[in-house]
Structure 1
Amino acid sequence: MIKGMTLVREVASAEALDKFGRLMLDLGFEQGKGWEDENGRGLALLAPLGNLELVTGRAPSVPPILIEVTGLDAVHAAVEKWMLANYRTEEVAALLTKPELTHWNSRLFTVSLKDGASDGLSLGFWQSENPLHGKPAAIEGDLSAQGMRFAIVTARWNAVITDRLLQGSLDALYRSGAGRTDVEMVRVPGAWEIPSAARKLAETKRFDAIITLGCLLRGETAHYEAIYNEVARGIGQSQQETGIPHAFGVLTCETLEQALDRAGVKAGNKGFEAAVAAIEMVSIQQKLRRPQEGK
């Protein structure tokens, strides 16, 4: 089994090796186990990932050593500073290029580390322009609610807030393709009653997700924290035991002004956000079920 890969290149002098080694360590390489004997010495530089690329039909269009980085502009600035400290200014202009776009959806700059009459080393530093490059493939939910069924449980207490949350949820569902007949609304007296209604709705298995909306204000309720903890626990327990996603849209605020801000005045509408989360979770569950159904 292949364990790793090491690319070995000769450097013209011990001085050049030391300079190059300091640059690479400053840029983030890990120092490995080097060696030294009567004939020379070696410096090991370790990176998290190594690749071997072979080319035929034409000469490679990139330097023989390519280093993938994040923050390409910052790396270029660091290399340029190092070059100016070790080469004459007019030499740096010829040895170091600016970051430029490539035909393989990335940006690249090259640097030649020469030592006297020797050609030295040629390096290329590059960064992918694809934001998903190098990231593991993940299952993510889509934001289409077409064909999905939702139940919305809304508390009547603090209706000036919960009505705004409800309107935000409906707006998100209908904009995302949910049919009006696919959304069922249930009103309960207050936040305390939300978990019970959500549980009953989930147990019917008629809905793909439950959206819970309510508002608790500390100034109005002496036992504010006790109610909130039980509401959160009850909604979470219902979700875990029924397997139906429950979107949490119960506001817990210090003042009415804060609640209004979170219900669409300043800080977005948490009812809208809860509905979007519900749509995404239904989509994720559908995708997770498909491989099992195909067996």
Structure 2
Amino acid sequence: MIKGITLVRSVPSADAFDQLSSLFNALGFEPGKGWHDDSGRGAAFLAPVGNLELVTGRVPAVPPILIEVNQLDHVHSAVERWMLAHYRTEEIAAQLSAVELTHWNSRLFTVELGPEMKLGFWQSENPLHGVVPAVEGDLNATGMRFAVVTTRWNTVITDRLLQGSLDALYRSGAAKKDVEVVRVPGAWEVPSAARTLAETKKFDAIVTLGCLLRGETAHYEAIYNEVARGIGQSQQDTGIPHAFGVLTCETLEQALDRAGLKAGNKGFEAAIAAIEMVSIQRKLAVAK
């Protein structure tokens, strides 16, 4: 089985070797095993993916060393900063190109460090380029049944979380008759209700909501640990997805921010996660 590929290229001088090594180190390449003896020096730089491209006929007008990156503009800035530390300003304008579009649906810039030392850094404009194929859930709740467990304690927060959850479910196609809301006294009771609902097998997913605010005693930690453990245990034992929307905050202000003011609505996010997990489970079941 093929394990990897290495292309060996010579550089014109020891100074060029040091320059190129310095640039690659500054950009965060993973160093490989190098060597140094009487005949010369070698340095390896590792990348997650390597390609060998063979060409016949016209050779593409690209540098002999092409490095694929993400966040190309940040890489361009990093190269420019490195060059400012090693070259005169007037030299950089001739050696470092601007980021430009190519005819092969990418953006590219080049760096010329000396004779026969031209590099190209590029990024594909295709958003799916290089994405690893994976099973992912769809955000379509049509035909799914959900139970939403929320609390009477801290209702100034949990009611906002509940509205966010219902908004997410209904927007995604869930029918109102397929969503059952259960209100328990406090966060401590959420796992028990979630477990009872999951064991009925009437629901495709359970959305758990609550709010715990830190006090001056250890009560907060004791409650939170048991709530998280109970919800997780219920999910593992029943096989029904449980979305975790129980806030654990230092202050009421932090909780309000997470219930729709400044940091999104965690109830909405929990419901979206529940929809996606139901979809994933159904796809995985079909694939068996």
Partner of 2:109: 109
Partner of 1:44: 43
Shift of 1:206: 1.2
3-state SS of 2:117 partner: strand
CA distance in 2, matches of 1:112, 1:216: 58
Partner of 2:8: 8
Q: Cα deviation per residue 1:247-289 (whole Å; 9 max; x = unaligned)?
A: 2223344555544443334443332222122112212222222
Pair 1:80–1:131, CA change in 2 (3 A): farther
Q: Is the 8 A contact 2:214 2:250 kept in 1?
A: yes
Q: Does 1:136 align with 2:132?
A: yes
Q: Does 1:178 align with 2:174?
A: yes
Shift of 1:25: 4.3
Gaps of 5+ in 1: none
Q: Cα deviation per residue 1:218-261 (whole Å; 9 max; x = unaligned)?
A: 55998444333333222221111001011222334455554444
3-state SS of 1:67 partner: strand
3-state SS of 1:120 partner: coil
Rg larger in structure? 1
Q: Is the 8 A contact 1:76 1:99 kept in 2?
A: no
Q: Is the 8 A contact 1:72 1:127 kept in 2?
A: no
3-state SS of 2:247 partner: strand
CA distance in 1, matches of 2:217, 2:86: 66
CA distance in 1, matches of 2:46, 2:148: 51
3-state SS of 2:157 partner: helix
Pair 1:2–1:198, CA change in 2 (3 A): closer
Pair 1:31–1:153, CA change in 2 (3 A): closer
Pair 1:22–1:166, CA change in 2 (3 A): closer
Pair 1:166–1:75, CA change in 2 (3 A): closer
Pair 1:122–1:259, CA change in 2 (3 A): closer
CA distance in 2, matches of 1:223, 1:7: 61
CA distance in 2, matches of 1:103, 1:264: 44
CA distance in 2, matches of 1:166, 1:218: 21
3-state SS of 2:116 partner: strand
Pair 1:58–1:209, CA change in 2 (3 A): same
The amino acid that maps onto 1:89 is: E
Which structure 2 residues correspond to residues 58-73 of structure 1 after superposition, within 5 A?
58-70=58-70, 71-73=74-76
Pair 1:83–1:62, CA change in 2 (3 A): farther
% identical aligned pairs: 70
Q: Is the 8 A contact 1:21 1:43 kept in 2?
A: no
Partner of 1:89: 90
3-state SS of 2:234 partner: helix
Q: Does 1:125 align with 2:121?
A: yes
Q: Cα deviation per residue 1:148-179 (whole Å; 9 max; x = unaligned)?
A: 11011222333343333222211111011111
Q: Is the 8 A contact 2:111 2:118 kept in 1?
A: yes
Moved more, 204-213 or 252-261: 252-261
Q: Is the 8 A contact 2:198 2:240 kept in 1?
A: yes
Shift of 1:187: 2.5
Q: Does 1:291 align with 2:282?
A: no
Q: Does 1:243 align with 2:239?
A: yes
Q: Is the 8 A contact 2:112 2:118 kept in 1?
A: yes
TM-score (norm 1): 0.79
Q: Cα deviation per residue 1:33-75 (whole Å; 9 max; x = unaligned)?
A: 33555xx534333222432101234221212221234532134
Moved more, 252-261 or 208-217: 252-261
Q: Is the 8 A contact 2:80 2:96 kept in 1?
A: no
Pair 1:7–1:176, CA change in 2 (3 A): same
Partner of 1:34: 35
Partner of 1:166: 162
Q: How many residues align?
A: 283
3-state SS of 2:243 partner: strand
The amino acid that maps onto 1:240 is: Q
Pair 1:215–1:108, CA change in 2 (3 A): closer
The amino acid that maps onto 1:263 is: A
3-state SS of 1:279 partner: helix
Gaps of 5+ in 2: none
3-state SS of 2:87 partner: helix
- After superposition, the CA RMSD in angstroms is 3.2
CA distance in 2, matches of 1:261, 1:97: 44
CA distance in 1, matches of 2:211, 2:119: 59
TM-score (norm 2): 0.81
